[in-house]
Structure 1
């Protein structure tokens, strides 16, 4: 038997025979079938059409269906990336899986290496290069094709805790964004900048003082006050209808 070809051990001689009848250039010995690597697709198809139990594969795990369900991200809401094998991609094949980035960096790295080990190109070339071909649930933050694993893990864990508010802060100045900076500068979610002004004046007791003096709060020009505050001291990021995140500049 040629040890440099793909070797499949079926559960019975009958199953091995059913597959062998559909593939050229293969050698059958009992329940063991060996075939050239170039016949890989034909063997895959024959196994599927024959409806036989999956064989044990020596040195050719890629002939087995890729069991990505074992490690692929199952949380639809988690920040995640679709990592693809570049060896497969460059050979016209699609191979990759969605990876949960709320894991530690080491676990993300393991998932990537595990995915690469199942590449359909694994038998005839090194499958070590990968790239991010898609991403979702990052609250509008763009993920680069070659983003570092450490950054993915850190950013995903922060977003899981702080959500869209942190994403707004990050997008405003990603080079300086940090958890400490976010916690220091984030003032909360409001309907508008004017709503924020009213809330601050109310907390400071100024609204009540005016009302005690018989001056209704609607005499105050909250729009003008907000315009003044947001020139130097604050900035806002609009998230949607009547929804803005307020941050201090200093």
Structure 2
């Protein structure tokens, strides 16, 4: 895991306890488990005082909503945590955005490896530094990286409209989410 403030945790109670007016449960740190099966076994063990406990995830931290609900944790959750745990915070945030707002994983049916590959191809970087316009910052970087204005006399280059160019870029194949830039193809 990257650091303690990003540890995925779930407060697990049961529907039986909840229906009897109790919020009795326990916070489980998912980094303590190898996989979902081991986590669920520990949850059932904790609630062994009930005959047939129906687990209820009453609260969670640092788990994307597309991986969890009140009654289930997606089977790929631990693989997702492992993958994002190897990323820096900025890239992990971008991958979360990609899964949630761009390529809708896991509901898109892709395997995690395919989702990661698509993300690597799509993600252009973070350009929202210091509250600046990320699309405009990316346009400047794009022009520089592609050499779009190379060979153009400096006197003419001054008149290039980066704002209009940025607008056109983001109408035809790029999107910006919270300062992160992605290709749309």
What TM-score does the superposition give when structure 2 sets the normalisation length? 0.74
**Counterpart residue number, 1:112:** 43
User: Aligned pair in 2 of structure 1 residues 140, 226: CA closer, same or farther (>3 Å)?
Assistant: farther
Per-residue Cα deviation, 1:41-100 (whole angstroms, up to 9, x for no partner): xxxxxxxxxxxxxxxxxxxxxxxxxxxxxxxxxx44212221212222222222222223
Q: Given the alignment of the two structures, is residue 202 of structure 1 paired with residue 137 of structure 2, yes or no? A: no
**Aligned-residue offset at 1:235:** 0.8
* Counterparts of residues 1-250 of structure 1 (less than 5 Å): 75-102=4-31, 103=33, 104-117=35-48, 122=49, 125-138=50-63, 143-160=68-85, 161=87, 162-173=91-102, 174=104, 175-176=107-108, 178-191=115-128, 192-210=134-152, 213-215=153-155, 217-238=157-178, 244-250=179-185
**Aligned-residue offset at 1:139:** 6.3
Partner SS state of residue 137, structure 2 = helix
Larger proportion of strand: 1
Per-residue Cα deviation, 1:169-201 (whole angstroms, up to 9, x for no partner): 122142337222211211111131111111111
**Aligned-residue offset at 1:230:** 1.1
What TM-score does the superposition give when structure 1 sets the normalisation length? 0.57
Partner SS state of residue 114, structure 1 = helix
Counterpart Cα distance in 2 of 1:215 and 1:107? 66
Counterpart Cα distance in 2 of 1:95 and 1:111? 16
Counterpart Cα distance in 2 of 1:216 and 1:115? 71
**Aligned-residue offset at 1:216:** 6.2
Specify which structure has the bigger relative contact order, considering alpha-carbon pairs within 8 angstroms and separated by 6 or more residues: 2
- Could you tell me whether the CA contact under 8 Å between 2:67 and 2:73 is conserved in 1? no
- Could you tell me whether the CA contact under 8 Å between 2:139 and 2:166 is conserved in 1? yes
Counterpart Cα distance in 1 of 2:55 and 2:137? 47
Instruction: Provide the aligned C-alpha RMSD in A.
Output: 2.5
- Work out which of the two has the higher radius of gyration on C-alpha atoms and give 1 or 2: 1
- Could you tell me whether the CA contact under 8 Å between 1:139 and 1:164 is conserved in 2? no
